[in-house]
Amino acid sequence: MSKDDLGRYHSPALLIMVSLAEGEKHGYAIMEDVEVMAGIQLGPGTLYGAISRLEARALIEPVEDGSRRQPYRLTEAGSQFLQTELERMRSWSGEGLRRLGLDTV
Amino acid sequence: MKRIAVWLVRLYPSVWRTRYGDEFTDFLEQYHSICLRDVLDIVIGICDAYLYPQRNMVMSEQLARKESTFILIGLCPLISTILFIIGVGIVSIYEVIGLFFVALSIVPSVLLPFILARSAHQRLVIGAVSPLIALVVGFFVLILFNIPLPRGLSGWRVAEMLLGAIGVALILANVKDNGLPRPLSIVGILLGTSWLLHHTFMMLEVGGPSLIPPVQDLPSITLVALNALGATWVLGTFVWLALRKRTTLFRWGA
């Protein structure tokens, strides 16, 4: 799964997946968690655009509980994808800090 | 604002609403304060849902095409009509800028279908229908408010603009998918190219029968450049396609 598959929803999708990494949540809870965690407010259209893409790619799945507030959770493929993406980001952010002379490692 | 946001959910594709409609409505009702930015975000989300339907949305290709054609047929004439009315409205004060807007009103009908549509058929329908709607609605507004027509914009001229726009739409449909019948393609090339050339020469001859552009203002130079670029692109593309044998248009024996 390449990042291009998610298009302009790549960053919102990653934030949603990070939020779901600690457990299942519904849309509103995801939005609040992302705002607290990253200081980014996902718009309603962006949030559900990203959710529909993640679900279509089987990176997240709905949890059947019969309520209107549909909770979602990460799938196995989603966990692997998130891990790969976060490691990739850590790699280039480390390189960026090193080039700025800010890396202490 | 929340009411508007909840109402906008109705504009999502039916298949999207079937899957996410209830939970999205519930999500919006929980929302503490919906601002204009959120409403715009929903509008972008609606366009996205039409243009990039996801695999988990069970919808036939035909139905998806119908829905996106419907929204594009609404979008293109709307933009065209606004530009047309602005142009005619200001033409008595700023003649060149006004005419520039009138000419520009054709652009959404030609460019948007090419960028947004998903098939040759869809481009053809949108390209043909949207300029017609824009002109009819535009003229209705002009008559309603008794706005005089700009100089040189007669009924024949409008018909020529309309035919030209349809011609360009035909060309664009053919270039991208190469799926149109040959006679239709030839008509398209003739109509579209002559339209672009005509507008180029018309602009070049402002102030006298000279081929030197009137470099007195930016709008006329931009319009000349756009039209010249369009004509070059149309002719160049077809020469390139013919040389690469990528179009059935020149395969007379086929």
What's residue B17's pLDDT?
A: 86
- Contacts B57 to A, Cβ<8 Å: 52, 56
Residue of B nearest to A49 (CA): B45
Mutate to test the interface with A, among B54, B58, B59 (most CBs of A within 10 A): B54
Band (pLDDT 50/70/90 cuts) for residue B158 is low
Indicate whether B230 pLDDT > 50.
yes
Within 10 Å of residue B70's Cβ, how many Cβ atoms? 13
Contact B27 A44 (CB under 8 A): yes
What's residue A36's pLDDT?
A: 92
**Average pLDDT for residues B51-57, to the nearest whole number?**
66
Torsion sign across C-alpha atoms B74, B117, B80, B164? negative
What's residue A31's pLDDT?
A: 92
What's residue B46's pLDDT?
A: 86
Q: Compare B150 and B252 and report the one with higher pLDDT.
A: B150
Indicate whether B153 pLDDT > 60.
no
What's residue A21's pLDDT?
A: 93
pTM beyond 0.90: no
Band (pLDDT 50/70/90 cuts) for residue B1 is confident
What's residue A47's pLDDT?
A: 93
Residue of B nearest to A66 (CA): B23
Indicate whether B119 pLDDT > 90.
no
Name the phi and psi angles at A73, rounded to 5. -140, 160
Mutate to test the interface with A, among B19, B41, B46, B59 (most CBs of A within 10 A): B41
Quick check: B127 and B183 in contact, CB under 8 A? no
Which percentage of chain B shows pLDDT scores above 70?
A: 30
What's residue A76's pLDDT?
A: 92
- Spatial distance between the Cα atoms of B166 and A36, rounded to a whole number of angstroms: 52
Indicate whether B246 pLDDT > 90.
no
What's residue B12's pLDDT?
A: 86
CA angle B184, B107, B134 (to 5 degrees): 85
Integer angstrom CA distances of residue B191 from B160, B161, B162, B185, B218:
9, 10, 10, 10, 27
Band (pLDDT 50/70/90 cuts) for residue B11 is confident
- Contacts B55 to A, Cβ<8 Å: 56-57
Contact B54 A53 (CB under 8 A): yes
Lowest mean pLDDT among A59-73, B34-48, B227-241: B227-241
Contact B20 A44 (CB under 8 A): no
Reading the block at residue B44, the tokens are 């972008």
Contact A45 B31 (CB under 8 A): no
Within 10 Å of residue B88's Cβ, how many Cβ atoms? 24
**pLDDT-flagged residues of chain A (< 50):** 1, 3-4
Tens digit of each residue's pLDDT (9 = 90 or more) over B85-95: 777 777 667 77
What's residue A4's pLDDT?
A: 47
Chain A residues at the B interface, defined by Cβ less than 8 Å, are 7, 26-28, 43-49, 51-53, 55-57, 68-70
Tens digit of each residue's pLDDT (9 = 90 or more) over B160-170: 666 666 666 66
**Average pLDDT for residues B239-248, to the nearest whole number?**
58
Indicate whether B39 pLDDT > 70.
yes
Tens digit of each residue's pLDDT (9 = 90 or more) over B69-82: 666 666 766 777 78
